[in-house]
Amino acid sequence: MRVPGDDLAASLPVELAGLAGTVEPGDLAYAQRRARLIGVGADEVLIAAGVVTPDRAAQAAARRLGIAFTRIDGAEAPVPSRPSAADLVALLRTGILRAAPGRLVLAARGDSLRQLAARLAARPALREGIALTTPERLAAHVRRRHGPTLARQAAYGLIERSPRLSAGTLGPSRLIFAVAALILALVPLLLHSAPAPLAIALAFGIGSLLLGWNCLRLAAVVSPPAPPDPPWRADRSLPRYTLIIPLYREARVVAQLVEALLAIDYPREKLQVLLVVEADDGETTRALAGQHLPAHLEIITAPGIGPRTKPKALNAALPFASGTVIGVYDAEDQPDPLQLRRVCTRFFLAPDERLGCVQAQLAIDNLDDGWITRQFAAEYAGHFDVLLPMLGASRIPFPLGGTSNHFRREALEAVGAWDPHNVTEDADLGLRLARLGWRTEVTASTTDEEAPRRFKAWLRQRTRWYKGWMQTLLVHGRQPQALLREAGCVATIAFLFLMAGGVGAALVHPFFLIALLRDITLAHVRAGSPTLAVISGLGSLVLVIGYASALLCTGLGMRRRGMGRIAGTLALMPLYWLMMSLAAWRAVGQLVIAPEHWEKTDHGLARTSRRRPRRRRLGRVTNSGADRPRLQPADA
């Protein structure tokens, strides 16, 4: 006696055959067409569309193959019984769980199911020792049974693997840095009373550092803007992509975040989004639960051990990432819907195996909330639209932005992922990539961010940034010979100009102004004093080039970004720089007494938005790879 659906099942691939008779034939036909179009399994299409659940698809496939289905909620345990973090990552990557006694549990889907079917057809006896499960259940089993091992790896993996590259081993050097910062601050005030040779040496040392930083900005001003990367349209050749988004106290922006993620133009079957929440952040967890997340959005809980920092949360999610490209976003981000496709163009159109990271440009969305947000937006425009594209095109390593960086997974794992003990993990990771021979480039694709509009919130965020840059300087500067050998002379000098120049300028700026006003008021530079004339001339040169480079770089960035009121914004920049100096000195204090303290920036408080009217005009960007009809769940 024939069972209804058998004729149809015989014509379907194994991942669909078990669903014949329970899923609409039109949906099955659509799943096959789309699977061929984008290069995935047809069951992945149905799961992404919400037609079937992962469990239902796996149970149907198990029945078709004549093997058992398991929820892995029993006594299955991998071998060895105490696996390392590397063993667990390999387990998740292969989807093969060696269960006792002598049984295999396979988390297979799509092409993997077809390969399994071929092996079982060749060797039917294998059916007795194999059970099928879902990748989601395998990941849940690993988290449930081996959470402490992965938690330790997330919190202490880098410090155990490469202790000299982690900010967790800085120790007394933090105090030495604070003393050096105080000395640096006093130098402009004491140059006139120091012996002539020492005064000139100090003036030239500080002046060279600041001039080098400013000359990089001037070079960026005269560099042409890079054309935007065209989006990669060949859906079949798109890689599997994972986005990791840490969230802590972000309930206010959860709905906005989910909307932005669903607007991303990328095949959902190839896109995995890992939302990382803290165990005690019930408000954010409840907000996510109320969003009815689609199958490709998953929630992961960050472990409670180690420092509570964004990089630790990123490390906690990395073992569960299935993509060959890993992207990072912040909770308030609104990325260009085509950004992932543009990144793929940069990675794969002219393949460069040493291109390890692509940084997207960042822009401030709420720039009209006040003068602080406008200054923030202008600063971002100069940095991301002018300076970083020049550095990337010149193959000069640079500190990454804290979001919208996209990594070749191989590169990210090679450098040990993120440092949980560095509160500005992006700056550190940019240099670690360079030290191992990986390059970073910038793509002209924008992610809109929310800037703090109140001074206290801005100060806390900027303090954390400066503290992380100081940690990065100490980590990579404590072994200068190794840095020169691994990164090369050009990268090392660029690192000093970018990091030390930027931090040093913020620390010394108010004292330099005081010394300059003193010289003008008291007329210290006298005829017949060549030492004072040289020092004064060098100081004037640094002042003129510093202001000129900052104004030109920022003004050009504002023009490229289409911002108005350029002159008024530039006129207030000196006041903004004094605010940055305050944040830098506050960071020095925290570096000594609370190096791993993470000052949270609250989001969802913006009052204005440049993005919303622009998105209403443009509408939703679509294409054949991201779009799909609304399929009907079989049990609806």
How does residue 183 score in pLDDT terms, banded at 50, 70 and 90? confident
Q: Of the given ranges (196-200, 468-472, 632-636), which has the lowest mean pLDDT?
A: 632-636
Residue 235: count of CB within 10 angstroms of its CB = 20
For residue 127, what is the enclosing H or E element?
none
Give yes or no for a cis peptide into 80 (omega within 30° of 0).
yes
State residue 469's pLDDT score.
94
Q: 133 has which bridge partners?
A: 107
State residue 331's pLDDT score.
94
Q: Are 619 and 232 in contact (CB under 8 A)?
A: no
DSSP state of 14: H
Is the pLDDT assigned to residue 625 strictly greater than 60? no
Q: Of the given ranges (257-261, 302-306, 487-491, 632-636), which has the lowest mean pLDDT?
A: 632-636
Least Cα distance to 563 among 494, 610, 498, 516 occurs for 610
- 599 φ/ψ sector (left φ>0, alpha ψ -120 to 50, else beta): beta
How does residue 80 score in pLDDT terms, banded at 50, 70 and 90? low
- CA distances to 162, 376, 396 from 478, in Å: 14, 32, 21
User: If you average pLDDT over residues 382-394, what whole number do you get?
Assistant: 94
State residue 523's pLDDT score.
59
For the chain, counts of helices (H) and of strands (E): 26, 12
Q: Are 146 and 88 in contact (CB under 8 A)?
A: yes
Residue 357: count of CB within 10 angstroms of its CB = 27
Can you list the alpha helix ranges (DSSP code H) found in 222-338?
254-262, 282-289, 310-317
Q: Calculate the CA 178 to chain-centre distance.
A: 29
397-422 b/e (C-beta count within 10 Å ≥ 16 → b): bbbbbbbbbbbbbebbeebbbbbbbb
Is the pLDDT assigned to residue 624 strictly greater than 50? no
Q: What is the pLDDT of residues 214-240, one digit of tens each?
A: 999 999 999 998 888 999 999 999 999
Is the pLDDT assigned to residue 67 strictly greater than 70? yes
Q: For residues 351 and 589, which has the higher predicted lDDT (pLDDT)?
A: 589
- Angle at the Cα of 9 (from 4 to 11), degrees rounded to 5? 135
State residue 601's pLDDT score.
86
Is the pLDDT assigned to residue 613 strictly greater than 70? no
Residue 458: count of CB within 10 angstroms of its CB = 22
Dist. CA 519–CA 516, nearest whole Å: 5
State residue 5's pLDDT score.
55
State residue 618's pLDDT score.
44
User: If you average pLDDT over residues 305-330, what whole number do you get?
Assistant: 95
Q: Are 144 and 151 in contact (CB under 8 A)?
A: no
518-556 b/e (C-beta count within 10 Å ≥ 16 → b): ebeeeeebeeeeebbebbbebbeebeebbeebbbbbbbb
How does residue 313 score in pLDDT terms, banded at 50, 70 and 90? very high
Distance, first Cα to last Cα, the chain: 29
User: If you average pLDDT over residues 463-478, what whole number do you get?
Assistant: 94
Least Cα distance to 310 among 374, 379, 400 occurs for 400
Q: What is the pTM of this model?
A: 0.92
DSSP 40-105: S-HHHHHHHTTSS-HHHHHHHHHHHHT-EE--S-SS---SSSS--HHHHHHHHHHTEEEETTTEEE
Tell me the pLDDT of the chain averaged across its residues: 88
Length of the chain equals 636
Q: What is the pLDDT of residues 187-210, one digit of tens each?
A: 877 777 777 777 778 778 888 888
